[in-house]
Structure 1
Amino acid sequence: MALTTSTASEITPEQIGALVVQPVMNGSVAAQVGTVVNISSTDYRVPLVTADPAAAWVAEAGTINASDATFDELVVTPSKVAGLSIISRELADDSSPSAQQVVGDGLARDIARKIDAAFFDADGVTTNGPSGIESVAADMAVANYAASGPANLDWAAEALSDSEQAGGSLSYFVTDPATALTIAKIKAATGSNEPLLSDRGRSVLGVPLLVSSAVTAGTIYGIDSRFVQIVVRDNTRLEVDRSAYFATDQVGVKATMRVGFAFTHPGALVKITASA
């Protein structure tokens, strides 16, 4: 089906998913390390248990004292992220699947970059966007590597332990490209040319290591996917318009998504940086 003004209204949710939603989720590192949750409402509410009920040893036939859990609630309102591609009329009128794929891929890459930029923002705050992982940094566990850079994997062992002590189990490490290269160049022994990380899967102590240019240089995050949710509202739109670019015989193709982040147990996440 050609992506033209006459057919824009006929683009089905399934086609939008194939052209925009799925490629965005596949291209976003944040979506890979978190658990994607699709919602149809304006807000996403997550009940949080801030204190467990108390249990105790009780004598046979003894009285069991009542104890209540303490609850709180995390409310996430997905924010709008949009991508716009300007393409030729000829491409817009091309009904071949490859033409539609080109348009969808470009929009998906742009939106995926914006999602990761918000998720890993150094201040945790993105104008008009959702609060990223740094917004809960004060509640995260902290691990360090040497000031001169990662020279071994002690930082990873420390991060795994810190998360486990908080009831977590790290699913991923994520860092910036330069730090990932430094880690990859760690040798198995002094004087050896054999890299310590010899597997092609790029994992650290059995935990996959992902790379994003959106991560602040020198920072490594340890993430338990159970406690990081990527909230996607199901009103993603793909729209085509010729009027704005009439004079140049071009077509605007716009995609909009609404995305938010929920960090339900920050204490099980770990931020790893160079020691002071």
Structure 2
Amino acid sequence: MTMLTSAESNRGILPPEYGSLITDPVTEAALAFDGRVARTVRTSGKEFRIPILVEDAAAAWTREGEEIAPTEPVLDEITVVPSKVAGLTIISRELAEDTSPAAAELVGASLARAISLQVDRGFLGDLAAPAAKGLDSLTEVSVVEGALDSLDVVHEAKAAAAAEGGTASVILANPADVLALALLKDESGSNRSLVESTSTIAGLPVISSRHVAAGKLWVLDREQIVTVLRDDVELATSTDSHFTSDRIAIRATMRVGFAFPRPASLVRVDLPTAGA
């Protein structure tokens, strides 16, 4: 029998605010939930539909008194089915029944970090099912190639996004490539840095993450990225599987999906090598 947190008898094991032990840390840490990177929507349904505009309605110069020709925009939609990310940890009953905030935070933080890692891997990658498909799965992104010997490649990426009707809003980079940006000099033989701070490059905020592949930058338009989070985030406990050792299994599940309405406005910058 699985003990759920909704049961009155479980209050000594999981505090009433158990949900925030998972949801809050993950949404604060994972790139996919960063407001600079994507828009987040929540749903209680199995799937979430996102309307997209394929083609605008037409307009034309018209003489006074002439009939205005009616036109309709061309619409489509993306269906997102959030996939389950799950974590399981086994703890002693003594720790589980410790009602101090420190014990609860330790358990929640451990599971949250594990889930956050998988959300980032899914968002940035092209993992096999049942993982949600991320940036690396997209075949229609714009691609810019160049080296980090100047900021030219970043400006080229911004221009590529604009050419597709997007507006670059953030840069995702591996720490090795952020370091390469920090080491740029304003001229040959100079010790003066080209940029004062790597927190902002070419007018765009820079997010450094070890989950971004080295040798690759992502210049993204947050309006073209949607992270879908299902409301049924669950933290459940069971004593059955570890009855003989008097331990308790704690399971956390979260369902997440991603949508990229206009992938061509998202730009991948391919560098020759990491930090180059």
What's the TM-score, normalizing by structure 2? 0.89
Provide the C-alpha distance between the structure 1 equivalents of 2:62 and 2:176, rounded to a whole number of angstroms. 57
- Gapped regions of structure 2 (runs ≥ 5): none
CA displacement 1:203-240 (0-9 Å, x = unmatched): 11121111222222211111111111110000010011
CA displacement 1:150-198 (0-9 Å, x = unmatched): 1111111111112122222222111222222222222232222233232
Q: Which residue of 2 aligns with 1:157?
A: 155
- Displacement of 1:244 in angstroms is 1.6
Q: Which residue of 1 aligns with 2:89?
A: 85
CA displacement 1:54-105 (0-9 Å, x = unmatched): 1110111112111111111100000000011222222211101121111111
Distance 1:98 1:166, change over 3 A: same
Q: Which residue of 2 aligns with 1:143?
A: 144
Q: Which residue of 2 aligns with 1:272?
A: 269
Provide the C-alpha distance between the structure 2 equivalents of 1:152 and 1:30, rounded to a whole number of angstroms. 28
Provide the C-alpha distance between the structure 1 equivalents of 2:93 and 2:189, rounded to a whole number of angstroms. 60
Is residue 177 from structure 1 mapped to residue 175 from structure 2 by the alignment?
A: yes
RMSD over aligned CA atoms reads: 2.3
Q: Secondary structure at the match of 2:46?
A: coil
* Runs ≥4 residues deviating over 3 A: 8-12
Provide the C-alpha distance between the structure 1 equivalents of 2:193 and 2:244, rounded to a whole number of angstroms. 57
Is residue 117 from structure 1 mapped to residue 121 from structure 2 by the alignment?
A: yes
CA displacement 1:4-56 (0-9 Å, x = unmatched): x93169968x7244200010011112221211111111111011111111111
Distance 1:9 1:47, change over 3 A: farther
Counterpart contact for 2:13–2:96, Cα < 8 Å? no
Choose the corresponding residue for 2:61, options 57, 61, 65: 57
- Gapped regions of structure 1 (runs ≥ 5): none
Counterpart contact for 2:186–2:192, Cα < 8 Å? yes
Provide the C-alpha distance between the structure 2 equivalents of 1:50 and 1:9, rounded to a whole number of angstroms. 53
Choose the corresponding residue for 2:52, options 32, 38, 48: 48
Provide the C-alpha distance between the structure 2 equivalents of 1:260 and 1:116, rounded to a whole number of angstroms. 11
Q: Which amino acid aligns with 2:54?
A: T
Distance 1:274 1:41, change over 3 A: same
Counterpart contact for 1:28–1:113, Cα < 8 Å? yes
Provide the C-alpha distance between the structure 2 equivalents of 1:85 and 1:198, rounded to a whole number of angstroms. 44
Provide the C-alpha distance between the structure 2 equivalents of 1:241 and 1:177, rounded to a whole number of angstroms. 40
Q: Which residue of 2 aligns with 1:95?
A: 99
Provide the C-alpha distance between the structure 1 equivalents of 2:173 and 2:12, rounded to a whole number of angstroms. 41
Provide the C-alpha distance between the structure 1 equivalents of 2:62 and 2:141, rounded to a whole number of angstroms. 36
Counterpart contact for 1:16–1:236, Cα < 8 Å? no
Q: Which residue of 2 aligns with 1:72?
A: 76
Q: Which amino acid aligns with 1:57?
A: W
Q: Which amino acid aligns with 2:33?
A: A
The structure in which a higher percent of residues are helix is 1
Q: Which residue of 1 aligns with 2:220?
A: 223
Counterpart contact for 1:48–1:74, Cα < 8 Å? yes
- Count matched residues: 266
